[in-house]
Structure 1
Amino acid sequence: MKAFTTSKQQKWLRFILPFPIGAVGYILILLVFDTLNQFSANFFSQEVVVTVFLAFVLLESLRAVLNGIDKRYPLIEKMLTTESEEVSDKGPNHSLRIVLIPLLSLLVSFIVTSFLVSIYFRFVLIISDFNTELIVFNGVYGVVAILYAIIHVSTSFLAVHKQIHYKQEKDLRKGLETDLEKFKMQINPQLLYDGLENLISIVHAQPRLAEQFINHLSRIYRYNLDNRHVELVDLKQELALSSSLLHVLNVKYKNAICLKSDLPDEWLSRQIIPCTISALIQELVERSIVNDFQPINIMLEIKEAELMFVCKHNPKIGLNGNSEWNLNFINRAYSFFSENKQLVITHHNQQLHINIPLFEIEEE
């Protein structure tokens, strides 16, 4: 992994940074030799050019060496470039890198600084005894090398953390999208089986009703297919789907299921996950006793700025009216949009209350 690289727009920093670093290094060297009073007179002198050039060569050397290490021994084995690749963290190497990179940077600084300072004193200033100056230069630029190494290590680990976090977020989002697609595309086999069975029973005796039945059944599955790639739909569309579903169910249950809603027009334009209400109706019917004496009357009403699914519940024996599985499945679809918007089921005096979160899409 190439963790500490600059973008094309920031490459100019590589040529600017040596100037302040070289100037600061020059000041530190003057302080060591107690000749700071010469700074104003020698600010544009040959020594300043040498310190700036030395800073440039040192930074470029460190950059090349450390980037080479990152290529040869990456912090993560694979970059997330395709869907098939995985990011695996090479944890055992972390503590070793923290120790070795500063030490290696210090070694590179010692080699580069000693080499350039020796050339400068021997061939430019024609001085053979410069051991003290060499120690000072190595000390000053050794500090620069260690700081550079610390920044490099920090940015490298930060890049790895962001890469792994991105992979985790992508996997989480992919899982939520899968749950959402599964929820929207689920086809209740029992509904299809009962629908075809009821169709056979009425196709000869009541051909007109059979024709209406086929139209409504086709609307249900056409709705599922049309919205398989749609994340949200208008509440008005969802109520139309629910109307078709009730028409299909009432052929079997002889109009014992009723859905009433008296919602303001502005609520009908709010957004809902496709098939939410129809899934609740199917779950309710499957888990309830439904006949002429115990009909299901569903009411959609507004309560505390939320849409409420309210009905009297007559649970079948052994189910205890528990629709937890289906609510959990729907909530996984809702978690794709918000962790705070969830369906919650409550019971009050044999009344079943389910809040249905809606979304308001702001048009730009």
Structure 2
Amino acid sequence: MKKLFIHHPLFRLLSPLFSGTLVYLLILLINNNVLQLQETFLGQELYVCIGLAYLIHEFSRFSLLFFERIKKPKSFFLKIMIQMITSLIMTMILVSIAMYLYFKYILLYVPNIRELYIFNIIFVFITIVYVILYLSHHFLYKINTEKITKEIAAKNEIEEDFLQFKKGINPELLYESLEAMLVLMKENPDDAEQFSDYFSTVYRYILTKQNRELVPLSEELDILNSLLLLFNNLPFRKIVFTNKVTSENWIIPSTLLTLLEIIIRTTIVSEKHALDITLEEKEESLRISFIPEQKLNSSFSMETIHDIVNAYSYYTNQQITMTIWDNLKVVDLPKLKYHENSHN
């Protein structure tokens, strides 16, 4: 309602001047007194019409504000009907009282039914115009809001798709791998060919994972081995991965790949010490643990795995946790059951 122009101070000040003058001219036209315009255009009757226009305008605006704030009835159509009927009745009451007082105490005679009827008809029309303005603004605002909501949703969807695409492409790993492959091709073509096999295996999995919601843990571990072999040929700390999980579990595609890549990239590079990462099974979770030696400008935290946390929230009420225990940083991934996957 605050955006509706009838609540603007300038409109409230000027519109009754025009509508009051128009009412005065209509009454002269109805009474065949148009010739009086040349004699007494700025007469007392004009000021009365303008004053009454101010009264009706402000009452109509107040009624719109009042009915906007009340919550009942819930039906919009019923609420508008009550608002319309109430506003029209109150307008006729106000106009009748005002004109009766003016005629009796200023003109010193009682107005007849025809004169009250003319004033009521004209000012009731003004009230109807106010309600129509409100309805047009309401529906226009509703339509625009729906369009803006759809545009924002489409924009968010495009941004999310772009982020997922960027995440799937992983340009940082792509360029590092290609650069390492160029070096290996000059030094040892056989190693370069094997390196390209690791590279293609990882990227084929990353780019096709969007068609699946959950994958067996064993399948993810197979791809993880290729990723670790890929990283062992890059200038990062050498990785020693230990898998202690023997039973079959389900996992969101690329979860382990993303977690281990973040761990590797946030760990200080060292040629003497390897990075030991262990995967083990607990009663309610899959636990990843490692000794943290984080870089000064980047760290492994819940914020860095925000996408994984959001993805898991769709499949389970259990939260991903990250704790420090016995000099180890521990990440617990909730176990997922096959029946939770509806599109696998």
Structure 1 length as normaliser, TM-score?
0.49
Residue 166 of structure 2 is matched in structure 1 by 182
The amino acid across from 1:348 in the alignment is W
The 1:261/1:214 distance shift into structure 2, 3 A limit, reads farther
In structure 2, relative to structure 1, the CA distance for the partners of 1:170 and 1:299 (3 Å cut) is same
Partner of 2:42: none
User: Residue 223 of structure 1 aligns with which residue?
Assistant: 205
Matches within 5 A, 1:41-52: none
1:351 aligns with 2:303: no
Q: Which residue of 1 aligns with 2:52?
A: none
Structure 2 unaligned blocks of 5 or more? 31-112
Separation in structure 2 between the aligned mates of residue 170 and residue 341 of structure 1, nearest angstrom = 30
Q: Which residue of structure 2 lines up, in the alignment, with residue 238 of structure 1?
A: 220
SS of 2:5 mapped into structure 1: helix
Per the TM alignment, residue 297 of structure 1 is displaced from its structure 2 partner at its CA by 3.1
Secondary structure (helix, strand or coil) at the match of 2:128 reads: helix
Q: How many residues align?
A: 241
How far the C-alpha of 1:242 sits from its partner, in A, is 0.9
**Is the aligned partner of 1:299 residue 2:279?**
yes
Deviation readout 1:318-341 (Å, 9 max, x if unpaired):
5498235xx645525765896999
The residue correspondences of 1:1-364 to structure 2 (distance < 5 A) are: 94=3, 96-98=5-7, 130-187=114-171, 188=173, 189-194=175-180, 197=183, 203=189, 212-227=194-209, 230=210, 233-236=213-216, 237-250=219-232, 257-260=240-243, 262=245, 264-265=247-248, 267-268=249-250, 270-272=251-253, 275-286=254-265, 287-288=267-268, 294-301=274-281, 304=284, 306-308=285-287, 310-315=288-293, 318-319=295-296, 322-324=299-301, 328=303, 330-332=305-307, 345-356=322-333, 360-363=340-343
Alpha-carbon RMSD: 4.8
Identity of aligned residues (%): 14
Q: Is this contact kept in 2: 1:297–1:312, CA < 8 A?
A: yes
Q: Which has the larger radius of gyration?
A: 2
1:4-43 residue CA offsets vs partner (Å, 9 max, x unmatched): xxxxxxxxxxxxxxxxxxxxxxxxxxxxxxxxxxxxxxxx
With over 3 angstroms needed to count, the CA separation of the structure-2 counterparts of 1:226 and 1:138, relative to structure 1, is same
Higher relative contact order (CA 8 A, sep 6+): 1
DSSP-derived class of the 1:354 partner = strand
CA distance in 2: counterparts of 1:292 and 1:328, whole angstroms: 30
Contact 2:202 2:223 in 1 (8 A): yes
Q: SS of the counterpart of 1:346?
A: strand
What residue identity is the alignment partner of 1:351?
Answer: L
Q: Matches of 1:254 and 1:130 in 2, distance apart?
A: 98
Q: Distance in 1 between matches of 2:150 and 2:311?
A: 16
For residue 181 of structure 1, report the CA deviation from its aligned partner.
Answer: 1.8
Which residue is equivalent to 1:56? none
Q: What letter matches 2:331 in structure 1? A: I
Contact 1:259 1:299 in 2 (8 A): yes
Secondary structure at 1:353 match in 2: strand
Distance 1:179 1:226 in 2: 16
